Amino acid sequence: MEDCYDIKISKIDEKPVCMFGHGGSRASEYLKQQLFENLMKHPKFMSDTKSAISETYQQTDADFLDSEKETYRDDGSTASTAVLVGDHLYVANVGDSRTVVSKAGKAIALSEDHKPNRSDERKRIENAGGVVMWAGTWRVGGVLAMSRAFGNRMLKQYVVAEPEIQDLKVDDEFELLVLASDGLWDVVPNEDAISLARSEEEPEVAAKKLVETAFTRGSADNITCIVVRFHHNDAPATIIAVDTPPENKESSSSN
């Protein structure tokens, strides 16, 4: 059982900070231990959250690679994070995990999977001297089926950890977030995931239902899911959620 997930609660400038995370493999374990901590320590975390997230992702990737330089391992991981500061939500993604929001019952994807055959990703990789080829699926160098990731030292020139970040204002129509690894999205469309999550009051129950649905639909990949429900009557808070693919099937949620 290599999967694990983590919840941390703290305060920055008297504002509550809640962090949700899980992962599997060595790279994901490193992200679990370091990504939240590095982000909270970033001097621009509250004043320029978007820049802080981008810089923290890339610095944490560099730190992980440095920590592994004396080993023969070449581990890697994706990450999808949602950061709520006041009424602004920042969703950052590296890899093929995905974040989807339910807004007035409508499923809206807040991240786009980093796949090697995405036209802009293929162009970026080829401009850097890399090759995208078919090997059962589209892969960077015929090896990796995603175009951005933490770690993956041998392909680092092409497989970057620079996140794509969406920044949007939260209103009363925002109901819940679903963050999940590709094992869910391979067999559960965005609309189905939101419909299933909305059918349950408790986010933990919703997350488990999504994992079980993906499993019964025959997903052959890692299945991990986090559901975060908005409570608009509560005081403004900062919420961080991270999703990194596990080696086994688990679910996690928080409200």
DSSP 83-120: EEETTEEEEEEESS-EEEEEETTEEEE-S----TTSHH
Of 10-19, 140-149, 198-207, the one with minimum mean pLDDT is 10-19
The tens digit of pLDDT for each residue in 106-130 reads 999 999 999 999 999 999 999 999 9
Q: Which residues touch 134 (CB under 8 Å, ≥6 apart)?
A: none
The model carries a pTM of 0.86
Mean pLDDT of 161-188: 93
Mean pLDDT of 76-105: 89
Measured over all CA atoms, what is the biggest interatomic distance in the chain, rounded to whole angstroms? 51
Mean pLDDT of 130-145: 96
* Ranges assigned E (strand) in the chain: 4-12, 15-23, 76-77, 79-85, 88-94, 98-103, 106-109, 132-134, 138-140, 150-151, 164-169, 174-180, 224-229, 238-243, 250-254
Q: What is the pLDDT of residue 12?
A: 65
Q: Is the pLDDT of residue 155 over 50?
A: yes
Confidence of residue 148 (pLDDT cuts 50, 70, 90): very high
d(CA 17, CA 36): 10
User: Which is more confidently placed, 161 or 69?
Assistant: 161
Q: What is the pLDDT of residue 171?
A: 93
Q: What is the pLDDT of residue 103?
A: 96
User: Which is more confidently placed, 222 or 92?
Assistant: 92
Mean pLDDT of 27-45: 88
Q: What is the pLDDT of residue 10?
A: 60
Q: What is the pLDDT of residue 159?
A: 97
Q: What is the mean pLDDT of the chain?
A: 84
Taken in order of first residue, the domains within the chain and their CATH numbers are 4-114+149-254 (3.60.40.10)
User: Which is more confidently placed, 86 or 114?
Assistant: 114
